[in-house]
Homo-oligomer: A and B are copies of this chain.
Amino acid sequence: MRTAIVLCIMLLFGVGQVSAQSDEAVIQTIYKSSLTNGNSYSWLDHLSNKIGGRLSGSLNAQKAVEYTKAELEKLGLDKVWLQPVMVPKWERGAKEEAFYETENNKYRVNICALGGSVATDENGLRAGVVEVQNFEELEKLGRSNIEGKIVFYNRPMQADLISTFNAYGGCVNQRYAGAMEAVKYGAVGVIVRSMNLRLDDYPHTGSMGYGELPVKDRIPSAAISTNDANRLSEDLKKSKNLQFYFKQNCQQFEDVLSYNVIGEITGREFPNEYIVVGGHLDSWDLGDGAHDDGAGVVQSMDVLRLLKISGVQPKRSIRVVLFMNEENGLRGGRKYAEEAKANNERHVFALESDAGGFTPRGFSFDCSDVVFSKILGWKPLFKPYLIHYFEKGGSGADIGPLKDENIVLAGLRPDSQRYFDHHHASNDTFEHVNKRELELGAATMTSLVYLMDKYGTNPIPESTNIKD
């Protein structure tokens, strides 16, 4: 009996176990706090429904800066401040119009200007259409077939890829570079199939660029809904003389002043080592940016709050950074990294949430193999929360500029199946975010930040008490 008791005591309090058990308990507290007392959903409600779409340089973006700063100030952090950054300002203007005409019929279609596109002239643009799947086809067709026409890029996202981000990656060059490629062959406009795996009527915007093309040579570029893309493609096969018309009223302005919003809990042991958790405060203008990236913003804010209410006092300085202008410029991410470098701030870890507020599945990491092995040792701590995805890969656009040989970068990886149903479209709205899924994401991020802060990101552990 005595032996049994001693054995129990050893099992319960043995040195090798204390640390792991304590981590388990802390992580349990973090998840419970998020699911029963989280604030992410309430913040998201305000950002989405009281403010709305937050395109860089807009009044709404400024409101979001003020709101999130004020909310961070209520959390009792050690510092909250704004980091000025100049951002591009592009406006959609009046809603776009588009239709096409065949010999017999006229069909209205759902389009939206791509971010950064020039407008059509005030009477709109009317021309024949050449459909292509990729730039190679464009080259093959050549100027003789393309000059004076609208190029219609219609390569769909590949449905059999399990990660919808991979499917997006396989298509998005049509959107970003479609105009600068088509203009080489004398095209007068570009219509791109929306980056959406679903068949529906929503056009999906997103950034496009003209490279070095002089302003006078730029051609208007718009996205078309997947349903309309399919119908247009069918009708192009039947009707040789199909004419497409569109009118868009967008405008590029001079850069304007905006801000990254930053809050900090200063570290107790290593105040000069920084851990960043963040998302981007700007969004596209069509929806209210609830998934992209309102979710990442409010989850990141709640990471600091959840650490506090779970009784974690970090060794290192933990910063939440709400980056401005991820969507059409990445100016906020670049500015933050620039200043960090200028101030010789040693950043050891950065985590971004910018893949929607869906059920979290894990993280992707950008770090050395030896550090990754250390991180994999924490994986069992996440199993009760069904967090299973720990893979090397990308992290997040805003934290990318922080990359150097010392920092570990990571991205939260939520379930990706529904993300592109909403991405950059008018249905990226609050009601499509599930409260629990959002909260689970915040808890998952907080738990990783807790472990990174506690054990550091050196391959040689500060403590060897981790149970693998």
Contact = CB atoms under 8 A, between A and B. Distances in A.
Interface stretch (A114-122, A245-253, A308-316, A435-443): A435-443
Interface string A335-365: 0000000000000000000000001010000
Nearest to A435: B198
A412 to B, nearest CB: 15
A437 B416 CA distance: 10
Interface in A366-393: 384-386, 388-389
Interface string A74-98: 0000000000000000000000000
A198 B438 CA distance: 13
A364 to B, nearest CB: 13
A393 to B, nearest CB: 14
Nearest to A384: B162
Interface residues of A, number: 26
Contact of A434 (B160, B361, B417, B435): B417
Nearest to A197: B436
Contacts of A160: 31-32, 35-36
Contacts of A45: none
A384 B391 CA distance: 12
Interface in A157-188: 159-160, 162, 164
A26 to B, nearest CB: 14
B35 A359 contact: no
Interface string A125-163: 000000000000000000000000000000000011010
A410 B440 CA distance: 27
Contacts of A273: none
Copies of this chain present in the complex amount to 2
Contacts of A50: none
Contacts of A108: none
A311 to B, nearest CB: 16
A376 B289 CA distance: 41
A388 to B, nearest CB: 4
Contacts of A159: 35-36, 436
Contacts of A268: none
Contacts of A32: 160
Interface in A392-442: 415, 417-418, 421, 434-437, 440
A389 B386 contact: yes
A388 B385 contact: no
A361 B360 CA distance: 12
A5 B308 CA distance: 59
Given A197-B436, A417-B440, A436-B197, A386 B162 contact: yes
Contact of A359 (B198, B359, B434): B359
A160 B310 CA distance: 14
Listed from nearest, the 4 A-B pairs whose CB atoms lie closest are A388-B388, A32-B160, A35-B160, A417-B436
17 contacts: A31-B162, A32-B160, A35-B160, A159-B436, A162-B385, A162-B386, A162-B440, A164-B436, A197-B436, A359-B417, A361-B386, A388-B388, A415-B415, A417-B440, A418-B434, A418-B436, A421-B434
Interface of A: 31-32, 35-36, 159-160, 162, 164, 197-198, 359, 361, 384-386, 388-389, 415, 417-418, 421, 434-437, 440
